[in-house]
Structure 1
Amino acid sequence: MRWQTGRLLRLVFDLRLYRLLEFRTAAQYAKERLGGSRAGFPAAFINRVRQCVWPQFLIDQLPIGGPKESVLRLDHIQPVGVRGNSHIVTEHQMSPQALEILDDWLVWLMTGLVPEG
C-alpha cells in the first residue's frame, strides 16, 4: 500500500510541475533548475507569466544588478524583519504608478477580481 501511495504522490507532483512550469517530470525539473546545463525558467513559462495567466506570478526588473529579470511569487510574500541584518535599504523605490499596479495585482491575487482602470 505504501508504494502505491508513493507512486500516486509522484504522479500528482509531476502533473503539477507540468501544469505550472511545463516540466514533464521531477527529474527534468531537478536537472534544469537545480544544476543542469540550463539556468532559469523555461521560456514558455516566462511567456505565460508575461501574459498574466496566473495572479501569483509577476516579472520584475530590478535596478540593482544581477539577473535582468526576476519572477516574483506574490503568494510567498513574507514580512520584513525589524533586525538590521534582515534587509538592505537602497536608494531605489517604486514609483507611484508601480505601487498602484502592485496593489491592483495583489487585489487580483487575493480576490480574483481585476480592478478597473
Structure 2
Amino acid sequence: MKSVFKLAIIFIFTGVAFSQQAYSQEVLAQSEPTKKELKLASSLEKAKSDLEKSKLKLANLRTSYDKKRKRFEKQNSKGKLSPNAVASHTKTLNNLSKKISSEESKIQKLEKYIVQNGG
C-alpha cells in the first residue's frame, strides 16, 4: 500500500513538473510576439520622430535656399558679382537643392514605412 502511495506521489509531482514546463514554454511562445510588437512599436515611434525632424530640416533648407537665391538674384541683377562669386553662389544653390531633394526622398521613405507598418 505504501508503495502505491509513493508511486502516486511520484506521478503527481512529475505531472506537476511537466505542466509547469509546458506552461513556461507557453508563456515564452506568447512573449515572442509581444517582443516583436514592442520592437515594431518602438521603430514606428522612432520613424515618426525622424519624420518630424526631417520635415523641420526640409523647411529650414527651403528657407535657406530661398534667402540665398533672392540675395544672389538681387546682387547679380545689379552687376555686383564677379564670375567667381556667381560660380560660388551657383554651387551653393546646387548643393542646397541636392540636400532638399535628398530630404524629400527620406521623408517619402519614412512615410511609406509608417504606412506599411500600421502607424
Q: TM-score range by the shorter chain?
A: under 0.3
Instruction: Work out which of the two has the higher radius of gyration on C-alpha atoms and give 1 or 2.
Output: 2
User: Is the helix fraction higher in 1 or 2?
Assistant: 2
User: Is the strand fraction higher in 1 or 2?
Assistant: 1
Q: Which one scores higher on RCO, CA 8 angstroms, separation ≥ 6?
A: 2
TM-score, scaled relative to structure 2: 0.25
